[in-house]
A and B are shown apart, each in its own frame.
Chain A
Amino acid sequence: MATEKENGRKKENSVMDKVLHGFPGSFFDPEDQGAECSADYSEPHGVDIRIVGLNKSFGENHVLKDINLEIKAGETFSIIGPSGTGKSVLLKHIVKLEAPDSGRIYIDEHDIFAEMKRGTSRDYRYSMVFQTSALFNSLSVGENVGLWLREKRVCPEVRIRRIIRDKLRLVGLQGKEDLMTSELSGGMKKRVAIARSLAMNPDLILYDEPTAELDPVTSDELARVIMDLKKEVSLTSIIVSHDLNFAFHLSDRLAMIHDGRIIETGTPEQIRASDNPHIKKFLYTTTKGISGV
């Protein structure tokens, strides 16, 4: 009975799907191998990022204090640090969702905020996995993942469907296209958000707490996805994570942010060996147990 209902729903969905997104392929060649994406959707090229003297306050609350940071093209870079120190706010500056009070961010040596004012368009693709996932509630999982492709008319519809399927498989959610986002668990939402970001084939991808709601096994799988991605394509990844094992395992370099300042930058080995007391305490608490107990 339940399955019958489900099947009925699926069918209805797919008819609606076709009305909304057009009929894929021709009758003769439903998989339409010739359907190619536009050149826009080519191989990503990692971008380099330079943050200079960035300051941001919300009212009295001085959140980011003179942030200076360099991230190289193709690098996987992690930002670690205690809660409420401005990690998410920093990421939002890099994707231009927040504007700084002072300071600049250069991406491939272009000042992004000056360009934003001038209205010139970017020639790189960036994408952010939000801490809250920020999936579109009114869309299904598949529509969330395919939204950018469909809005930008990057590929023919057949191809888009294949990309959606592939990206969902990559995050371990194969066949979940027709679920609504309200039917997902927190961890599933995060993974759909990751698939949605990957569907852009971004040059720069930012993950805000990608593993926060994942179980250890899924989070290992996600680490493998990010590793594979790094091997296959040269994109720049920035990861904000509390999960130090995850961050150390994946990152080429890390930065520790404390109270709005970057207090240390280095390779995983350098961070582990640092004798900055804040870092030592942070590493100790998050990897070994509870300090002082």
Chain B
Amino acid sequence: MIAKLLGQTIFFFKEAPRNLPSIFKQLSDIGIGTLPIAALMAFFVGMVLALQTGTQLALYGTQEVIGAIVGLSMVKELGPVMTALLVAGRVGSSMAAEIGAMKVYEEIDALKTLEIDPVRYLAMPRMLACLLAVPALVIFSIIIGVLGGGLISSVTPAINVPLSVYFENLVRAIGYEEIFKGLLKAVVFGGIVAHVGCYVGFKTSGGARGIGQATTRAVVLAFILIMVADYFLTRLTL
């Protein structure tokens, strides 16, 4: 059932051109809506990362490599995972609630009688928007996180790595391959969030209570799947 929905959603990608308005609407909901909070989170994550690791490295006098460590962690792991979890909590839940409400209040049935495929009309734009928006958000988060790390590394007396050294190490450590791996994760996680949100939404039953349960179920399921997928993607791309 869950695979069938995924298959149908991907099948309807070919109809994307005539659903552009709703894809753009979803893109702005997901992308622009999540941007400020993603930035805030990434900034603090970057700062904490530099503070924790930097002070430890300083004990052995190897703090110069801090740029590489923050950069690699952000690109390969923290950027994709944190952003995906954020999107799952913010967007996946609201997808499940919105589609779930449409299911409960017979709007999905009404769509069917209007000969409009609910998968094309509801799931496909959300999926496409997530596949595009999550990687974009991840890139953005990585940049902000790296900047936060650099700031802390240079202003904290215990670490005291100038920005030039920080970025020199960072650039040396990160190649196209690392970026590709990070973005691959971002795309997969984005797909998971959209798919889980839509699937749980379409499966909703049982009135207002059911909608509430669908919301939590979508978030929990997406969190679990993201962590599992993260493990396997990391293994596969080692």
Contact = CB atoms under 8 A, between A and B. Distances in A.
Interface stretch (B81-89, B109-117, B150-158): B109-117
B5 to A, nearest CB: 18
A20 interface: yes
A194 to B, nearest CB: 13
Nearest to A147: B114
B115 A20 contact: no
B168 interface: no
Contacts, number: 48
A147 B19 CA distance: 13
A126 B114 contact: no
A137 interface: yes
Interface stretch (B41-49, B99-107, B134-142, B222-230): B99-107
Contacts of B111: 136
A152 interface: yes
A134 B109 contact: yes
B162 interface: no
B110 A130 contact: yes
Interface in A125-168: 126-128, 130, 132, 134-138, 147-148, 151-153
B110 A134 contact: yes
B116 A137 contact: no
A97 interface: yes
B101 A137 contact: yes
Name B's interface SS.
Answer: helix
B206 interface: no
Interface residues of A, number: 23
A134 B116 CA distance: 14
B106 A134 contact: yes
A138 B101 CA distance: 11
Contact of A95 (B18, B105, B107, B113): B113
Interface string A5-31: 000000000000001100000000000
B109 A130 contact: yes
A293 to B, nearest CB: 34
Interface residues of B, number: 17
A79 interface: no
B33 interface: no
B198 to A, nearest CB: 15
A148 B113 CA distance: 10
B105 A128 contact: no
Interface string A65-93: 00000000000000000000000000010
Contacts of B116: 147-148, 151
From A19, A127, A136, name the one whose CB has the most chain B CB atoms within 10 angstroms.
A136
A135 B109 CA distance: 11
A127 B116 CA distance: 12
A200 interface: yes
B36 interface: no
A19 B111 CA distance: 23
19 contacts: A97-B109, A127-B114, A130-B110, A132-B105, A134-B106, A134-B107, A134-B109, A134-B110, A136-B111, A137-B107, A138-B98, A147-B114, A147-B116, A148-B115, A148-B116, A151-B114, A151-B116, A152-B115, A153-B18
Interface of B: 18, 21, 98, 101-102, 105-107, 109-116, 121
Interface of A: 19-20, 92, 95-97, 126-128, 130, 132, 134-138, 147-148, 151-153, 196, 200
Top 7 nearest A-B pairs (CB, nearest first) are: A134-B110, A134-B106, A148-B114, A20-B21, A128-B113, A97-B109, A95-B113
